Amino acid sequence: MVTSVIPVIAIDGPTASGKGTVAHRVADKLGFHYLDSGALYRLTALSAIRRGTDLNDEHALAKLAEHLQCSFQGGDIILSHENVTEAIRAEEVGNTASKIATFHAVRHALLGLQLGFRKAPGVVADGRDMGSVIFPNAVLKVFLTASVAARAERRYKQLIGKGISANMEDLLMDLQARDDRDTNRTIAPLVPAEGAHVLDTSNLTADEAVAQVLQWYAAIGK
């Protein structure tokens, strides 16, 4: 099947808006492949941190991104045969990923890798520019949002649930800083794609958000 007829559901949104959980569940419900584009930036960030790469060296970071040896196996994320599912969720890695995502060379290096996830019967892609840049012809574009307070609370519960200490004030500041970087960068800024359905998840459960996305998808072509 040619990629032009393989459906793509693009789900974008800021950090902790719930897009990862929603996208993964929607993919499961439809039997589609799942692309966590943010994980690719986090993998690049983790590699850079571990190698001691200069985080201001755009060329070196792009080279790391271009040669990532990674795979998604079920719910696990593998980097060079190591399970780094938890490691890439560290706050340092997330903040670094947000910073290196502002580099054009890094984004270009990861473009082909992301496009490669478009396989039959379809793919649900989550990130920050899935509908606006990577898959502009997606059959369904969704932009999840939520208040900073709601997102900080979710992130706090996630960290505490994993036994990781967290400070709500610090999380709020980190989220605001990431939002500022993501929305104001000159390359692929975080904005709702043209024609995207905007869904505020501040007061929604994950199940409710999934149901809404599936309803929008079912309505396509009717």
d(Cα 26, Cα 123) in Å, to the nearest integer? 10
Among residues 125, 150, 124, 129, which one has the least CA distance to residue 192?
129
Running DSSP on this structure, what letter comes out for residue 193? P
What is the model's pTM?
Answer: 0.86
d(Cα 15, Cα 20) in Å, to the nearest integer? 9
Tokens of 7: 């459906």
Q: How is 122-142 classified by DSSP, letter by letter?
A: -EEEEESSIIIII-TT-SEEE
All structural domains of the chain with their residue ranges: 3-217
d(Cα 200, Cα 210) in Å, to the nearest integer? 12
Do residues 79 and 43 make contact, with C-beta atoms less than 8 angstroms apart? yes
User: Exposed/middle/buried for 192, CB within 10 Å: 0-12, 13-18, 19+?
Assistant: middle
- Long-range pairs for 78-84 at CB < 8 Å and ≥24 separation? 79/43, 79/46, 79/47, 84/43, 84/46
The residue written with tokens 């490691």 in the block is 87
CATH superfamily name and code, 3-217: P-loop containing nucleotide triphosphate hydrolases (3.40.50.300)
Across the chain, how many H-helices and E-strands are there?
8, 8
pLDDT in tens, the chain (222 residues): 445 689 999 999 998 899 999 999 999 999 999 999 989 999 999 999 999 999 999 999 999 999 998 888 777 899 999 999 989 988 899 889 988 988 999 999 999 899 999 999 999 999 989 999 999 999 999 999 999 999 999 888 888 887 888 889 999 998 988 888 888 887 788 889 999 999 999 999 999 999 999 999 999 965
Tokens of 205: 């459960």
Q: Is 70 helix (H, G, I), strand (E, B) or coil?
A: strand
d(Cα 32, Cα 24) in Å, to the nearest integer? 9
Strand-pairing partners, residue 78, are 71, 83
